[in-house]
Each structure stands twice: as structure tokens, then as C-alpha cells.
Structure 1
């Protein structure tokens, strides 16, 4: 039987809109006390490993969790502005993929700091910083995508003026490996909170009450997924 369901689902998109920006802002603020450039980030990883792990993990989690919100927003925009929705949504999603790729390098660098020290890690990172890879040619999407999607959201009236401007400020967020926090980082992540969190709360409140079957499936799925997550971490 066909339905009017749109991936990823209203509740999932709403939770994404609420949690993802808050996680990004949290990660940004946790590393705000340290200098922006990678030698200082590596030094901070050596001297404050728990704090920096929390900062980079929160940012990565927010970045990954953001994708349902972007898919849902692009779908909404596409009802009236399909071309803008396609370009803006595609660019932002590619940008999220690239930031996830960068996060893998960040994780490897942090492991190197823990095992071999910040000095060796700085030497390795500095020597390989300009190495070409696929995402080297797509870096423009990290920043430019937010401007396109924000303009599309405004034109389609999917977000108000304030929300659209807030979303556009994500284009200020610095990109690359082992980037710390600057004032524009806080502006960008706080702007995304302004754009998406209220919309997510409204969507969650307006969602129909879940059925008993849905609640039962969730009650079963949560511990199963927790077990799979634990098993995955074993290697």
C-alpha cells in the first residue's frame, strides 16, 4: 500500500534539526579556548585529551546527524523550488561528507599524538597537509552549499528571514583538517541552531502520536542497536 511518507520521516528529521546543531555548537565551544591552527590543536590533544576528544566527537556527531534535517529541508523546498533545492541540498550533503572525511584525519592525528607525541604528529600533518584527494576538488561545497540552501529556504518560505540568515552563517565555518574555533565558528553553529532548532521543535510537536506498534518496535530496536554498536567497537 502506497503512502505519502517522505524519507527520512518527520520525527527523525525533527530530532536531527534539534540535536545536530546543538552538538555542533557544543563541539565548537569545547575547543574554543585553544588556538585555531593545527599545531595548537595537536598540543591541546596532548595536554587535554578528554576535553579535545569530547569536542571533536560532539562536532562529528552533529555533522553526521545533520543529514536527515538537510534531506527533509531540501524536500520541503523542492515542492516549490526544485532546482534550488537540488543544488543547495546536494552541495550541503557533499560538504557534510567532506567534513566527515576530515574528521577521520583528525582522529588519526589524535591517535598519533597519544602514541608518538604532539611533535611527531605536527611533523606528519604539516608534511601531508596539501596532499590531493577527491575532496580537495569539492571543498567549495562546504561553504557555498549553505549559501545556496539558505537562499532556497528563503525563496521557498521554508524558513523565515532570521532562519535563512542563520543558516547562511554556516558558510563562515572554517574548513579543513584539525581546525579549531574562531568567532565565526561560534556565529555559524549558533546561526544553525537559530535556523533549525525551532523548526525541529515545531515539527516534533506537530507530529502525530506514534502508534503502539511503532513504540514496541522502537523498544525492541534500541537495545538491539546498542548491542550492535558495542559489537562493532570490538573490532
Structure 2
């Protein structure tokens, strides 16, 4: 049987974890006002909560890419052009949100060391600075609409799933953004679109072989050790 990257199980886990992490991050920062001055003050007053919120959202963006690759691959069997445009735009959008998350992390560190007031002045002065992703911001929203239309046309997702996928285009973009009602609708819609498909794919996957389980038993602690080592600097 031909294996298509990134693999059925990885894509299934991505479809489950990615949307749930995005929804969790969105809900955690929803009690605070949307705009960046209030986000910075929340980081100062509730550092653990805001760190968890932004980390979950970042993790969701990173974890989600295998699901998008797998979905675009499936769409591409009958709608290759739509699959290519939708898949690429969504991936570019995920890259951009990950870039934004780096700025969010830097701002959170600045709040911790220099305070919310100082950080707000720095962010205010540099908020409109141009960078590569300034020219690709449209992909963050537009990509989800294209991919949702492609999924519907290819009959990969039903009407409800395609609409759920499209609601991700409602999420506001930019650095240090909080959560509005459309943010919750979008991430909940993504869960509706992908989580059931991921669960089905996981249940329908063949059981891993003994060799695969042995390899995983060795690889997981090794990767954990590498992760800890990486964090040392």
C-alpha cells in the first residue's frame, strides 16, 4: 500500500489536536479585551494564564499543518487546482500566525522584564513596520475560504464541515490579538470540521506493528531528551 506523507495516523492526530489547541488558546484569552494594550496588561496581571493561552494557540498552528496537507491531498484527487491554491494559502497563513506568535512571545518577555507600559510604547511605535508577511496577510483569512470551497466541491467534507472550515477565515489577524466572538466561532467551526474526521481516521487506521511500537518506545524518550537539551540554549 502506498504511503502518502505525512501518514494517516499523524494526519488524524493533527486533525484532533490542532483545532482543540486553537480553541483552548482562544477561550483562555477571551476574558480580556481584544486590542494589544489590554493584552499586554493581561500579560502583566495574569502571566501564567496568558502564557498558556498564547502557547496553546501557537501549538495549534504548528500541529495543524499535517491535517491541512492531508486534506489538500485528498481534495487534489478530484480538484487539484483548488487543492493546491487552498492548501498553500492556508499553510502560508499558518506560517504567518506562527511568525506573529514569535512577536507575541517577545512582547510577553518584555512585559515581564520592563513592564506593560514600556512594552506598549515599543509595540505602538513598531506596529505598522513592514516585513515579508505584511504582503501575505490575505492568506490568513482567504485561504480558509478557498480550502473550504475546494473541500465541498471535492465532496471531502459535507456542507456543515465545509462551513466549519470556512469560519476559520473569521479569526482576526495580527500580533497581540485577543479573542472576540468570531474567534470562538472560527475555532469551534474548525473543531466541527476536522475533529470528527480525525477520530474516524484514527479508528479506521490499522493497528501499529510491534516494530513500530518498539521504535516509538525508543524514539519518544530520545526526542524528549533532545527537546530538553534544546531548551538549555
Specify the SS of the correspondent of 1:203. Answer: helix
Question: Unaligned regions of 5+ residues in structure 2, if any?
Answer: none
**Distance of 1:67 and 1:2 partners within structure 2:** 21
**Distance of 2:84 and 2:93 partners within structure 1:** 14
Question: Unaligned regions of 5+ residues in structure 1, if any?
Answer: none
Structure 2 partner of 1:2: 2
Any idea what the Cα deviations from partners look like across 1:160-192, whole Å, max 9, x if unmatched?
A: 100000000000000000000000000000000
**Distance of 2:142 and 2:131 partners within structure 1:** 19
**Distance of 2:180 and 2:49 partners within structure 1:** 17
The correspondence of residues 46-61 of structure 1 with structure 2, limited to 5 A, is 46-61=44-59
Give the alignment's TM-score, normalised by structure 1. Answer: 0.98
The correspondence of residues 153-172 of structure 1 with structure 2, limited to 5 A, is 153-172=151-170
**Distance of 1:123 and 1:203 partners within structure 2:** 48
Any idea what the Cα deviations from partners look like across 1:99-125, whole Å, max 9, x if unmatched?
A: 000000000000000000000000000
The CA deviation at 1:8 is 0.3
Q: Which runs of 4+ in 1 moved over 4 A?
A: none
The correspondence of residues 127-138 of structure 1 with structure 2, limited to 5 A, is 127-138=125-136
The CA deviation at 1:2 is 7.0
Q: Tell me: CA distance 1:2–1:21, structure 2 relative to 1, closer, same or farther (3 Å).
A: closer
**Distance of 1:202 and 1:41 partners within structure 2:** 38
**Distance of 1:205 and 1:153 partners within structure 2:** 22
Specify the SS of the correspondent of 1:131. Answer: coil
**Distance of 2:216 and 2:160 partners within structure 1:** 35
Aligned residues: 233
Compute the RMSD of aligned alpha carbons.
Answer: 0.9
The CA deviation at 1:18 is 0.3
The CA deviation at 1:144 is 0.1
**Distance of 1:48 and 1:157 partners within structure 2:** 44
Give the alignment's TM-score, normalised by structure 2. Answer: 0.99
Specify the SS of the correspondent of 1:66. Answer: helix
**Distance of 1:2 and 1:60 partners within structure 2:** 32
**Distance of 2:228 and 2:74 partners within structure 1:** 36
Specify the SS of the correspondent of 2:157. Answer: coil
